[in-house]
Amino acid sequence: MRLVDSHGHLNSDRFDDDVDQVIGGAQLAGLERILVPGWNHHSSSRALELAEARPWLDAAVGVHPHDAAKVTHEEWADICRWAGDARVVAIGETGLDSDRMFSPWPVQLENLRRNLDLALATGKPAILHCRSKMGERDAQDALVAELRAAGFAGERAQAAFGERPPAIIHSFSGPVDYAAEVIAMGLAVSFSGLVYRQGEESSASAAVLVPSARLLVETDAPFLAPPGSPKGRNMPANVAITAAWVAGRRGIAQSDEAGLAAFGDSLVAAYDLAFARARPRG
Ligand SMILES: [Zn+2]
């Protein structure tokens, strides 16, 4: 089955000592693309550096809600400049997090808005992190309201993105009606090792709702190691575990070779559509 990791932080310092081996392991496992998202200035710059020598890796630049209060004006100006780079295929990761609240809520909103504006201005989709406290949905509801206010459900996104998704909900977590709402807005939805956790049953059940052209899988490495992988640091190669899980949820048996092959093809096609990856990088 063809494989891509639509969200793996090879730019994390947890890969500093052996990033070449980790990337080699991903290639051996058959991964064709890895998208390396930034979360602040340093990690965005490191994502660009990793994609420089390896044209099959893609970078995203942006500011995570956890880091919203830490980024300086000069750093944000660099990120806006980097957003135009051919190695950068998306803006993020950004979003909202009312679970851990490492940045005050008004600052998170301001950060999200400028990342969304940058996505619309560049025609590169926003990668969205969204977490509420267990069993709550305030961050998801606020995110949908912000996306609507920024024009992601209307003409502004249509003009900037055409048939492509204007944003990706990364590591999907939330109620089923929220999944249905972001799908109706044309967003892509990406599933990670989070779907196996207790309390995430509704997130897991969203895996059958997403149309193939909008369906992505990811590791969020070094976080969220899926069951069946070695405990501790998650690796891009483990995306095979979550891809097989999503295929199973969608009714494709592990013995159905043709079905799994077609599913792998659709994962690559959804990635290439979302990140305009069919375009050669010049
Ligand atoms: Zn992430």
Question: Tell me: the pLDDT tens digits for 220-251?
Answer: 999 988 888 878 899 999 999 999 999 999 99
pLDDT at res. 282: 46
| CA–CA separation, 38 and 261 (whole Å) | 31
Is residue 240 classed as helix, strand or coil in its secondary structure?
A: helix
Dump pLDDT digits (tens) for 98-133.
Answer: 999 899 999 999 999 999 999 999 999 999 999 999
Rounded to the nearest angstrom, the distance between the alpha carbon of 169 and the centre of ligand 1 is 11
Q: How far, in Å, are 118, 155, 207 from residue 166 at the CA level?
A: 12, 11, 19
Tokens describing residue 155:
């003409």
Kindly state the average pLDDT of the residues 160-171.
96
**Distance from the CA of 192 to the center of ligand 1, in angstroms?**
10
CATH class of 3-274: alpha beta
Q: How much is the pLDDT for 281?
A: 56
Q: How far, in Å, is the centroid of ligand 1 from the Cα of 128?
A: 9
Query: CA-to-CA distance for 162 and 140, rounded, in angstroms?
Result: 25
Contacts of 78 (CB under 8 A, 6+ apart): 41, 44, 45
Mean pLDDT confidence for 86-96:
96
Per-residue model confidence (pLDDT) at position 215? 97
Looking at residue 200, its pLDDT comes to: 73
- Three-state SS for 20? helix
Q: How far does the centroid of ligand 1 lie from the alpha carbon of residue 13, in Å?
A: 14
Cα of 223 from ligand 1 centre, angstroms: 8
pLDDT for position 278? 61
pLDDT of residue 201 exceeding 80: no
Q: How far is the CA of 251 from the centre of ligand 1 (A)?
A: 28
> How many A from CA of 196 to the centre of ligand 1?
17
Q: What mean pLDDT is predicted for residues 74-96?
A: 97
Give the distance, in angstroms, between the CA of residue 32 and the centroid of all CA atoms in the same chain: 16
CA of 268 to the centre of ligand 1 (A): 19
Residues in CB range of 20: below 8 A, 6 or more apart: none
Digit-coded pLDDT (tens) for 206-222: 999 999 999 999 999 99
Residue 38 token pair? 């930034």
Residue 25 alpha carbon to ligand 1 centre in Å: 20
From CA 216, how far away is CA 218, in angstroms rounded? 7
